[in-house]
Amino acid sequence: MVGSSHEALHRIFQKDPTLLTRALQRVLHVPFPEPRQIAALNVDLTEIEPVERRVDTLLRAETDEGTYLFVIESQGKVDDRKRGSWPYYLSYLYEKYRCEPVLIVVTQNSATARWAARPIRLGFRDWHSLTVRPLVLGPDNVPVIADEQSAAKDVPIAVLSVMTHGRGPQAPAILGSVATALRTIDEETAAVLAQFVDSCLADPQAKQMWRDLMTATQYFWRHPLAEQVREEGRVEAKTEMVLNILEWRGIEVPHAVRDRVNACTDLNQLEVWAQRAMHAKDAAELFAGE
């Protein structure tokens, strides 16, 4: 189970390795050749026992133009020690695999993204023996995907969007479209991607909104994140979910609507109302046709 945004930000590329090339091409506009095959490699870069070095995620991409190594680092804050470790990673991997390494940094913080994007130059002012230029995916270049149609076209890209914006004010606006898009893919993959999103949401209200949205899906009830919801009671949780979705979408909930929802004990009916709450223009639309 992924328990932190650090894990989720790089492990999504293990779940869908082709997402990385799409992100490079569409977000960073890097003309990386289309891989024939991408395989995950051992992330352990330890040389001798006392010194242990590990990258976050390491992938090998086979293309018509050659073989490349994707070194993916999830970065939560500025860390000047990376000035030494990142060049080491790239040099070591090239020596070990004899493939061209490409460093990609993923972050939820704009200041960290700007820091990570600065070239690392080793040597003296007029002669750099080694230059490292990381590619960075962060909130300033990963687009906000807030409509369902765009999210459904490429679900992992939509999930990456909400993950990289998970610590910002735009996160709640993306959740509804991503929740709907997850229903268009297989349940096992959707459950893993849902967990990635949950791990990256820093705002408690956004995290609760996400969990409320997820309770409307069948696969979620088989997922570890659902344990907390089960303990609170299925009826109570779904009742709160209906009302919370409306409130978080900025829709006024009259007392009559609130009382009717709170009085309902039919789980199937509450689930219908929860689905309607995601798209309703006003609270009364919950009961349309009833």
* Amino acid (1-letter code) at residue 97: Y
Whether the per-residue pLDDT at 161 is higher than 90: the answer is yes
Let me know if 251 is exposed, middle or buried by CB neighbors in 10 A (0-12, 13-18, 19+).
Answer: middle
State whether the Cα torsion 105-106-112-118 is positive or negative. Answer: positive
Backbone angles phi, psi at 140, to 5 degrees: -85, -15
In terms of phi and psi (left: phi > 0; alpha: psi -120 to 50; beta: otherwise), the region of 103 is: beta
Whether the per-residue pLDDT at 126 is higher than 80: the answer is no
Q: What percent of the chain has pLDDT over 70?
A: 90
pLDDT digits (tens, 9 = 90+) for 227-283: 555 545 667 778 888 888 888 788 888 888 888 988 888 878 888 888 888 888 888
Predicted TM-score of the model (pTM): 0.69
Looking at residue 211, what is its pLDDT? 83
